[in-house]
């Protein structure tokens, strides 16, 4: 017999009415009805097996490309990334990485092992799980180019091993079996990678110079349209520095929206819509949003 989230005995942490503004990089968002941080994979499996199937479920990474509306998220938010941190070299060219491994950490280890190409992973601000979910990329590389297999977990707590051909993979877009979430990936790299720690550090320094890393943001807001850059179109529309409430189009990188400290989710969403509509009107380009917007409007 299934149970409500608050009735399940777990070894991890179950928090009620947890503000998502504490967990997203934009620092906005209403509360999660239940916020679950599992102790380990067995704890997670037990929770999923016991949970009532009618309870809404949301899988949460590190919130680098996420905006939660002010009404929050009903049901359960599962935040497992702290436990999914295994990173090991399984074979000469094969690396196994948990979904919670920061992409920068994956890049540094591959350089140390002399395999690649992997240094471009340092350009992704999130984790392996988030990179898998959206086929994240940077500096000409894309996540799924190196994927040999993935492990997922479904709503019943069952673990599956999947191959790339079980997914439809595109630019910043991945579609696979419904109701499954990534928990691990196995990557196959090439021998004799020429990248170095100096190359990686230069990439990180460039990112620091060109992106507003010192302020809360949600990363790149829009995908780059074919043959162009969203940032160029936004800047050409005269939108750098444009504000709605506490949300502002970054002067440093036009495809970033920053929180000046007092922004709420509705400010950010309104600004995203304004940028989209202005670029469409001035340039005829229908920008596709990269950031995800979830949750309910404030009641």
Its sign, for the CA torsion 15, 20, 22, 23, is positive
CB 298 within 8 A of CB 70: yes
Q: What is the largest CA-CA distance in the chain?
A: 58
CA angle 34-213-247, nearest 5°? 65
Tokens of 144: 């799924």
Instruction: Please confirm whether the linkage preceding 24 is cis (ω < 30° from 0).
Output: no
Count of CB atoms situated within 10 Å of the CB of 276: 19
Active site (catalytic) residues: 172, 220, 290
d(CA 151, CA 171): 21
d(CA 241, CA 258): 10
DSSP-based three-state secondary structure for 13? strand
Query: What is the DSSP pairing of strand 141-142 with strand 137-138?
Result: antiparallel
d(CA 51, CA 72): 20
């Amino acid at each position: 017999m299934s149970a409500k989230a608050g009735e399940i005995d777990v070894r991890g942490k179950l928090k009620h009415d947890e503000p998502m503004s504490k967990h997203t990089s934009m620092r906005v968002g209403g509360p999660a009805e239940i916020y679950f941080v599992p102790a380990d994979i067995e704890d997670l499996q037990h929770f999923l097996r016991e949970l009532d199937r009618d309870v809404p479920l949301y899988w949460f990474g590190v919130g680098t490309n996420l905006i939660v509306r002010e009404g929050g998220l009903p049901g359960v938010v599962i935040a497992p990334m702290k436990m999914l941190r295994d990173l090991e070299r399984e074979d000469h060219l094969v690396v196994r990485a948990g979904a919670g491994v920061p992409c920068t950490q994956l890049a540094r280890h591959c350089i140390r092992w002399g395999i690649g190409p992997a240094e471009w992973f340092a350009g992704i601000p999130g984790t392996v799980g988030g990179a898998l979910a959206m086929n994240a990329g940077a500096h000409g590389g894309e996540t799924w180019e190196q994927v040999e297999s993935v492990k997922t977990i479904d709503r019943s707590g069952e673990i599956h091993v999947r191959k790339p051909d079980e997914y439809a993979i595109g630019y910043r877009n991945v579609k696979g079996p419904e109701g499954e979430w990534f928990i691990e990936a196995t990557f196959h790299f090439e021998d004799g990678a020429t990248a170095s720690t100096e190359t990686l550090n230069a990439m990180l320094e460039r990112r620091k110079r060109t992106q507003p890393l010192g302020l809360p943001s949600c990363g790149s807001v829009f995908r780059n349209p074919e043959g162009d850059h969203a940032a160029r179109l936004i800047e050409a529309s005269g939108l750098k520095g444009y504000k709605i409430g506490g949300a502002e189009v970054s002067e440093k990188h036009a495809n970033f929206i920053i929180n000046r400290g007092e922004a709420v989710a509705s400010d950010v969403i309104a600004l995203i819509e304004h940028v989209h509509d202005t670029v469409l009107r001035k340039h005829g380009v229908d920008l596709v949003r990269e950031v995800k917007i979830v949750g309910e409007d404030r009641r």
